[in-house]
Structure 1
């Protein structure tokens, strides 16, 4: 099936305008700091100069890297050399701009969140700063240690921006992601050079739909058709039409980059990373994990990076033993949520081609989506426990970890009515806790497992249940989650990244870094859910 991009008038008009808006900085790609600074980078990270490995990965060199490296070679072996003093002399470490924000808990949660938008918004700088990729339009960051844009976070943040009437900010963020697709070939994990080798859950098509809804203009989908197609190529291991042939000859059980061939001539996708080295932003942590596994270090690093691409970094979903990080094997797993998102991308491409009156290509993408839907049902639905699971294509069996990824087939209307009813029952019986939905049913110390609950998964669950008229359960989950968010805000003045849904007297925890506040997607989902109360109030 040919994948030929037929440019529509809107696309032709839109791209030159965006090109004109770009400064030279936005067309530059700075090198990843581990590559640029070599042994100096390794020494700083392994000697633990900073509690958070991300600190040095985000540092801005004050002079050209070659001069810093020359100075390091000249000084490092001298008696009394102080590595910390050297780093402080040659690098600047950006402050978190919201460090001095003081919450006023007498404000409503809505007023608090709306006061945070300017604090979390970053404007274009017009210059390259260390590992940060310059973007042409303003954008919202999550907050805390996350001072850059993040791919899948941004969709849930945009939900709140839509409710706040920040339409131009939504438009700018969609434009930024289109810019990244155009110049990097995909949306990276975030706008840092060290994130370029991977992406995150592909929500761009949902962002485009959200913008189209916000502007009440379906032609926006046609406008972004070139970028939607380019993102699809990325996930299918290609850069253009001819590249699509690379996966055609795969045998069942074989994989190429993010594409996996399965029996029955089916093709589904996995998370991956084009690099197999320690993550610069978690360098010493990754080295420590790999050293104690008995596996090839490169294999472990790629599985860790693929876990980061999933957005669920980290979780028992990716662990062979369901418990320990050293058994991570993300690249062996076909995630149910990823493939539902790619189903949505295929359906959005079909709609885009319909809008430019190309019915042949529209039908081709509908066929691809339908085939993916059948594959999801065949390989990810478990009849025995009435739930969706990930699929280990190396072992040719489903993985045992039950997680909230199972709500994605409901959100995208892939599940049957009977399947949705069974998923709803499992959510009610096993996942719903005093503070909301637990992410998985196992406690590993990882942040994407019990006892934590997360805003994006609550949104996907609530909307998925509503799609199948499971309205009572959806409302119960919604009310519990809103109550927990508001309670923590009133008690602490903070909107946080994740919540302990088992014991609401405790804050969320686990993972590689302390609990972060801000927080983009929590703000976005809560603002959207709170607005439902006002919309349901009787008019006076």
Structure 2
């Protein structure tokens, strides 16, 4: 049977023109009109402050709050900026309040790493938000765990791996609190943004909400999980599949869905064709030499890569050495489509728990069809590995990356294919400190030589699922050894690690390496406990 989606609830579209750029947004964004968006309200002042490089990174100013009405600040700036002796940095620091920066936590490295992690959750927990008229922070009704370091908000896909650790630590209260927040975002915004900041409202992140709810069900019950979160998962599924029933050969792509042959798959996307406000200077400078049309495409693809969580990797580049050739929206990613398959399975499970057998069977059928199509389209028989696909012609990108473990983690890979790719992936990606993300020497943070906790976990458990316990344990042991070594030397759990040279911390990317660190902590706790709940 061909894999098709014809029963998705459509969301009507509106076209908005901003700053000369045409942007397509869903009507879910109508619920975003009350949010403070400084790049719009401050106009040229936002641009000039960002381009002046007053702060260590663009995100710092994006998180600042004005001390008075932004319109008044903009008016003051326009009146004063040409005055002799005007200093933009002085004006900025008088007119804006810096974001809250948590104090560094003293860590006693004589305390074993796992004991420290079990006790550390409260340091990474933020209380519910009251909100502010002029803050980019989106208020959430319940407590949540932030990654740490530079971050002052909750991030979507990070939270699944954080929750694995919360479960091991017995913090089901925090897990439930975070799930309630994500359900709140789905019900009020229409989807889960990248993070709870207004500058993330054009995009989501890898859709792990169903996996989080499935984890919660293992600690509570499928019935309780269905009662609390089934409707939210359904709404998120509709968001990711919006427009799938109307794809044709002449109109093969719409937002996050694409047509490959007779099959419908998913891609990463964003509704906005402008520089990311939290990385404004970096995006603007990258696009400076391009035509207006090329700028629109670049900004869209940068934003889509940010939605992927892999921001950035040469995985998304047409030319591995040229950042400006980023083409994220042209790719149907192997990891995203594994996640959508899992979402269908979880919907089937929870509809069954809720007593709706008809809907359960519908999603079981959709998952079966997706699995068959996935193994046909994403499998590269020459390389014997699952690969990303260029959806326009169905060709594989040719890149072997750690994303290829996702089909094993979520059981979408047929047994023979899952087992066949083990040797290929281990040969390419296993390093002294764990699993490489890619073998590309691009300088991007989601490339060589870095390893990231979520991919270690996905690979470790994915290999176990396909009876490859020896390489699975190699990844686990090397990664945990590196975590412990860095912790004992620095007192820190890092965002990423250099797994090729285990004498160094990770590097590359848009901002300095961070400590904290939510998903690293969660994965370490899960690996140490050999947890079977995930």
- TM above 0.5: yes
Structure 2 vs 1, CA of residues 93 and 500 (structure 1 numbering), >3 Å: closer, same or farther? Answer: same
Does structure 2 conserve the Cα–Cα contact (< 8 Å) formed by 1:268 and 1:375? Answer: no
User: What runs of 5+ residues in structure 1 fail to find an aligned partner?
Assistant: 6-25, 238-243, 536-540
Question: How far apart are the structure 1 equivalents of 2:475 and 2:446?
Answer: 19
Deviates more, 1:219-228 or 1:159-168: 219-228
Structure 2 vs 1, CA of residues 288 and 352 (structure 1 numbering), >3 Å: closer, same or farther? Answer: same
Question: How far apart are the structure 2 equivalents of 1:354 and 1:3?
Answer: 19
Alignment of 1:93-492 (within 5 A): 93-97=98-102, 99-128=103-132, 130-237=135-242, 244=243, 247-251=245-249, 254-263=252-261, 265-292=262-289, 296-492=294-490
- The Cα shift of 1:372 comes to 1.6
Does structure 1 conserve the Cα–Cα contact (< 8 Å) formed by 2:159 and 2:519? Answer: yes
What's the secondary structure of 1:267's corresponding residue?
Answer: strand
Question: How far apart are the structure 1 equivalents of 2:165 and 2:34?
Answer: 30
Deviations 1:417-467 (A, max 9, x none): 221222211232221110000001111000111110000001011111111
Does structure 1 conserve the Cα–Cα contact (< 8 Å) formed by 2:464 and 2:472? Answer: yes
Does structure 1 conserve the Cα–Cα contact (< 8 Å) formed by 2:260 and 2:392? Answer: no
What's the secondary structure of 2:141's corresponding residue?
Answer: coil
Q: Paired residue for 2:498, among 497, 500, 503?
A: 500
Q: Paired residue for 1:520, among 505, 518, 521?
A: 518
- The Cα shift of 1:249 comes to 4.0
Q: Partner of 1:9 in structure 2?
A: none
Deviations 1:59-93 (A, max 9, x none): 01222222222222222222211111111112111
Deviations 1:379-399 (A, max 9, x none): 211111111110011343100
Question: How far apart are the structure 2 equivalents of 1:378 and 1:217?
Answer: 32
Question: How far apart are the structure 1 equivalents of 2:315 and 2:496?
Answer: 18
Q: Paired residue for 2:55, among 36, 47, 50?
A: 50
Question: How far apart are the structure 2 equivalents of 1:397 and 1:178?
Answer: 37
Question: How far apart are the structure 1 equivalents of 2:67 and 2:519?
Answer: 33
Question: How far apart are the structure 2 equivalents of 1:427 and 1:108?
Answer: 32
Structure 2 vs 1, CA of residues 217 and 343 (structure 1 numbering), >3 Å: closer, same or farther? Answer: closer
Larger RCO, structure (CA 8 Å, separation 6 or more): 2
TM-score for the superposition, normalised by structure 1: 0.90
Question: How far apart are the structure 2 equivalents of 1:257 and 1:525?
Answer: 32
Question: How far apart are the structure 2 equivalents of 1:353 and 1:114?
Answer: 34
Q: Partner of 2:18 in structure 1?
A: none
Does structure 2 conserve the Cα–Cα contact (< 8 Å) formed by 1:411 and 1:463? Answer: yes
Question: How far apart are the structure 2 equivalents of 1:493 and 1:268?
Answer: 43
Does structure 2 conserve the Cα–Cα contact (< 8 Å) formed by 1:336 and 1:408? Answer: yes
TM-score for the superposition, normalised by structure 2: 0.91
Does structure 2 conserve the Cα–Cα contact (< 8 Å) formed by 1:222 and 1:353? Answer: no
Question: How far apart are the structure 1 equivalents of 2:377 and 2:532?
Answer: 42
- The Cα shift of 1:28 comes to 8.6
Question: How far apart are the structure 2 equivalents of 1:299 and 1:341?
Answer: 26
Does structure 2 conserve the Cα–Cα contact (< 8 Å) formed by 1:125 and 1:134? Answer: yes
Deviations 1:269-310 (A, max 9, x none): 000000000000111111111124566101100000000000
Q: Partner of 1:14 in structure 2?
A: none
1:67 aligns with 2:72: yes
Deviations 1:142-180 (A, max 9, x none): 011111100000010111111111111100000000000
| Structure 1 residue ranges (4+ consecutive) displaced by more than 6 angstroms after TM superposition | none
- Aligned residue pairs total 506
Does structure 2 conserve the Cα–Cα contact (< 8 Å) formed by 1:290 and 1:326? Answer: yes
Question: How far apart are the structure 2 equivalents of 1:79 and 1:426?
Answer: 65
Deviates more, 1:387-396 or 1:246-255: 246-255
Question: How far apart are the structure 2 equivalents of 1:290 and 1:4?
Answer: 36
What's the secondary structure of 1:499's corresponding residue?
Answer: strand
What's the secondary structure of 2:157's corresponding residue?
Answer: helix
What's the secondary structure of 2:287's corresponding residue?
Answer: helix
Does structure 1 conserve the Cα–Cα contact (< 8 Å) formed by 2:241 and 2:257? Answer: yes
Deviates more, 1:424-433 or 1:214-223: 214-223
Q: Partner of 1:12 in structure 2?
A: none
Question: How far apart are the structure 2 equivalents of 1:383 and 1:396?
Answer: 14
Question: How far apart are the structure 2 equivalents of 1:122 and 1:533?
Answer: 26
Question: How far apart are the structure 2 equivalents of 1:45 and 1:163?
Answer: 42
- The Cα shift of 1:356 comes to 2.5
